[in-house]
Copies of this chain bind each other. A is one copy, B any other.
Amino acid sequence: MRVLAFLDGTLADPDQAHLRVDDLSVLRGDGVFETILVTDGRPRELGPHLDRLARSAAMLDLPEPDRAAWERVVQLVIDNWSGGSEIALKLVYTRGVEGDPNATPTAFALGMEIDEKVKRARAEGIAAVTLERGIGTDLMERAPWLLLGAKSLSYAVNMAAVREAARRGASDVIFTATDGSVLEGPTSAVILVRGRTLYTPPPTIGILPGTTQGDVFRAAERAGWQTVVESFPASELTSADAVFLASSVRKVTRVHTLDGQPLADSTELHAELAKVYDSQYD
């Protein structure tokens, strides 16, 4: 099932048309979004997601999102959900209608079921490939118009990368920078594990600050793990004790195969970290 609510508090039928063809999300991929996991009626990391929505909106010069209204519309979708115990809840905030000088953002929340494919990935892990992202790690600060670190709706490249992974027999991607540094996945953050230490690259190299990654790190620290936010080269992935992709909907997903080569068996590390993460929401 799908539940749709607009930011003004209107519930609507997701199977009907609600957007004009000249909404700038359609014509230009011009807007920002978040995807939040709701489990048993509780949205995970809602605060960090709304923080990041506001940050992305600022990077795109969109009006500041009305935080209280977003909190209400999230609850509205949850209150009207009658599907499974989990919801993938998308918040979408676009620049509105093209050419309208009084255009206001189009804003809605859409609750969706979790794909079977996602559930399988959580349980079984995935194969991933490394793909060049074609950018340097020093660009973000110097060239803010490239929107590195903004979660914009312009995800055609992210989706093309996932299709390239499929052509290579994998289901996900780890992007690398021109200097070989690990960046992020098309829809996830990368976490590398060595011993009892978790590593992830810093947002300053031109990637999204990961909400789930952040939450995993905080939970892991409380459970006695070390965490380090620093750049590392892709070559470290193959010698790590574990490589995980963190995203709201997939939570912490284990990468068992990289570029066709099996990685170290991280089944136990994964089970432990997944438990540390999920136990916050029990």
Q: Chain A residues in contact with chain B, CB under 8 A?
A: 2, 4, 14-31, 33, 59-61, 90, 92, 94, 99, 108, 110, 112, 115, 131-136, 139, 142-147, 150, 152-161, 163-164, 178
> What are the nearest 3 A-B pairs in CB distance?
A29-B29, A154-B154, A154-B156
Asked if B20 and A20 make an inter-chain contact with CB atoms under 8 angstroms apart, the answer reads no
Give chain B residues whose Cβ lies under 8 Å from the Cβ of A23. Answer: 19, 26
A110 touches B21 (CB 8 A): yes
With a CB–CB cut-off of 8 A, which chain B residues contact A164?
A: 144-145
Cα distance A15–B21 when bound, in Å? 9
- Identify which of B14, B26, B143 contacts A92 (C-beta below 8 A): B26
In the complex, what residue of chain B is closest to A135 when comparing beta carbons?
B134
Copies of this polypeptide in the complex: 2
Q: Which residues of B contact A146 (CB under 8 A)?
A: 132-134, 157, 160
Which residue of B is nearest A109, CB measured?
A: B21
The reply to whether B161 and A29 form a contact with Cβ atoms under 8 Å apart is no
Residue with the greatest number of chain B CB neighbours at <10 A, chosen from A19, A59, A145 = A145
Residue of B nearest to A158 (CB): B28
Q: A155 → chain B, closest Cβ, in Å?
A: 4
Residue on B nearest A143 in the bound complex, by CB: B132
What are 10 pairs between A and B in contact, CB < 8 Å? A17-B20, A19-B26, A21-B110, A61-B163, A99-B115, A131-B145, A132-B146, A134-B139, A146-B157, A152-B156
